[in-house]
Amino acid sequence: MTTTSILQYATLLSLLIGGVSVAVAIFNHRDQVKTQIFLALSARYDELMHNSSAELWLTRTPVTTSQQGSDDSTMSALRFCTLFSVTYFLFLDHQIPKRMWRLILHSAERRMRNPIFVREWQDLRPEFESFPDFVNLVDSVQDGASNSFVRTKRLPSRV
């Protein structure tokens, strides 16, 4: 074996190790970003629950349509919808793993079926018409079909 061939093998080995290192770094970075997104969303949901009216989170009794919502319940519902729509967008953009999305969706379904939220959604719906996938998701959850919606919904390809 000549010195030249030894140098070629050493160069090839160092390139291989460098390539593997870059791949591992990318993989770790993606996991770190997903973790940061999850922690940021969790903090936002916690802040939302802390600053929102309890009726949006706890009411289980039917609400008649003649009852008018308070400004507090309307703003709480709007903040929830905004945060949840951003979360849904991140899921559709493959920034949130499917398992994490299912966990978030399961919790959000209870809020979206809450009688206060159902009432408020009728007024808030026009605010989200620019995101029809989100409107369809909320409507399907309120109709009781969210699981089939999420399973059959084709995720858009990245542009």
Q: What is the pTM of this model?
A: 0.64
100 occurs within a structural domain = yes
120 occurs within a structural domain = yes
Cα gap 55→111, rounded to integer Å? 10
**Overall number of domains in the chain:** 1
> Tell me, what's the pLDDT at 158?
38
Cα gap 141→98, rounded to integer Å? 17
Q: Which amino acid is at 15?
A: L
Query: Domain span at residue 133?
Result: 35-152
Q: Which residue has the tokens 């390539």?
A: 19
27 occurs within a structural domain = no
Residue-wise pLDDT tens digits, 117-158: 898 999 899 999 999 999 999 999 988 765 544 543 544 443
Residue-wise pLDDT tens digits, 6-53: 999 999 999 999 999 999 998 888 888 877 887 787 787 778 777 766
